[in-house]
Amino acid sequence: MGMGGLEYAGWNMSGAGQDGQESAAERLFAGLRAGDARALGRTVSVVEDGAAEAAELLRLCRAAVSEGPRALRIGITGPAGAGKSTLVDGLSRELAGRGRRVGIVAVDPSSARTGGAVLGDRIRVQEGGAYMRSMATRGHLGGLARATEDVLTVIEASGRDVLLVETTGVGQGEIEVVGLADVVAVVLVPGMGDGVQALKAGVLEIGDVYVLNKADREGVERLEQEMRGVLGLGAGTRERPVLRTVATTGEGVAELAGVLVGFPSGAKAPAFQGKESGLPGLKPRPTARVQMLVAEKGAGKPREIARIPELPSGPVLDHLGIAVGSITEAAGVYRLLGAQVGEPEEIAAEKVRVAMVGLGESRIELLEATVAESAVGRFLAKRGPGLHHVALRVRGLDGVVKDLQEKGVRLVNERVRVGAGGHRYVFVHPSAAGGVLLELVEEVEG
């Protein structure tokens, strides 16, 4: 930035307000509030780049947002290849057709060469006046860019009343979206290891709505059955819809839009209360483990419907792994007891088939070896069917591993591994854990 200040495509950002004159930030903000798409784009660029005027622009935008009804923030997340971008495009058109003013933030991985978004920093006004901004993660983990909350605030201040946030599709790490969305839609597709992914990758922790996209593919019935079974586990859990869509044809998109706009905006808490963000004073919304509110039908008054409890500070039981000769035979008794048993799924890298059995807050993982020369196969040959491992969820797995190593605790694998669905884990040797193999799974922080 030179002596004259920043200039963003024709908007001269020099000249702070003196002698009662408007500052450059105030002029740009006035254009944004008047509906000038160019002013909105320039403001977003200033804020994302962290320019000198960003703090003043954000102060003005926060004040504007706090004065009126909050925009509904919809997070669209899920694995890469699930068709999130096509679904977001269809949703924006459907919502615009319903008279909603839509803003879209699509977070793309960073280009190793330019540092920008891999697909380019796309800024465009779509059909129906929807504003779309593509942002690069710029090395920030969690499926979002560091400035995502800031940019959403700017777009909301421009008068958009529905904000769609599409994450990068990086697996378990993208759960950060729950911190700034009122409702999170998790998009899954048949044939991508969905059963293990849904059960072990943390999506049950974050989803409010589950979308089975590409529903014209074979296997969608099985996926829906698994998801409905798993989501129905446990007493007192809140209802979470499972919907089918074919985003390329628009099938099911209208129904999905209707469900999403039924959630209250700003339900999780007032904006700007939470952890630090890219600029001082602006803080994202709280996480998924907060009081959930919905509007009473016809009343307009929010009421408490469920409270998702905070996890204790120490480890909690995630599941028990049981080696069995046959999943089909072993699953029978659990079904007789009324437990939900997921469809068996083969994990080729581990040479094992697994089926998850839901038991309230925890699960049992049935393990069937596909070849004798595998970890589970050798276990069965030596000990026979029985308890194979105990899995605990811990927070800050890297730090836990470091502490264990410093204290001389024997680990089966010295480095953290990434398993099915993107979950991170490490095994503690039975000799250090009372004769039982101990799996430490990283807790997904909501």
Rounded to the nearest 10 degrees, what angle do helices 24-33 and 148-157 cross at?
60
What does each C-alpha distance from 233 to 92, 230, 306, 333, 341 come to in angstroms?
33, 5, 15, 17, 10
Q: Which CATH number fits domain 69-307: 3.40.50.300, 3.30.465.10, 3.50.50.60, 3.60.15.10?
A: 3.40.50.300
Other Cβ atoms less than 10 A from the Cβ of 164: the count is: 27
Locate 248 and state its tokens: 């390329």
Q: Which of 297, 277, 283, 421 is nearest to 349 (CA)?
A: 421
Residue 238's pLDDT band (boundaries 50, 70, 90)?
Answer: low
CATH code linked to domain 316-442: 3.10.180.10
Question: Is the pLDDT at 415 greater than 80, yes or no?
Answer: yes
Task: Write the CB contacts of 56 (distance below 8 Å, at least 6 apart in sequence).
Answer: 23, 25, 26
Span 318-332, pLDDT tens digits: 889 999 999 999 988
Map out the domains of the chain as residue ranges.
Answer: 7-64, 69-307, 316-442
Span 130-184, pLDDT tens digits: 898 887 543 333 334 457 888 899 999 999 999 999 886 544 334 556 667 889 8
Other Cβ atoms less than 10 A from the Cβ of 56: the count is: 18
Span 353-381, pLDDT tens digits: 888 888 766 789 999 999 999 889 998 99
CB 362 within 8 Å of CB 317 = yes
Task: Give yes or no on whether 69-307 and 316-442 have one common fold.
Answer: no
pTM: 0.57
For residue 185, what is the enclosing H or E element? Answer: strand 183-188
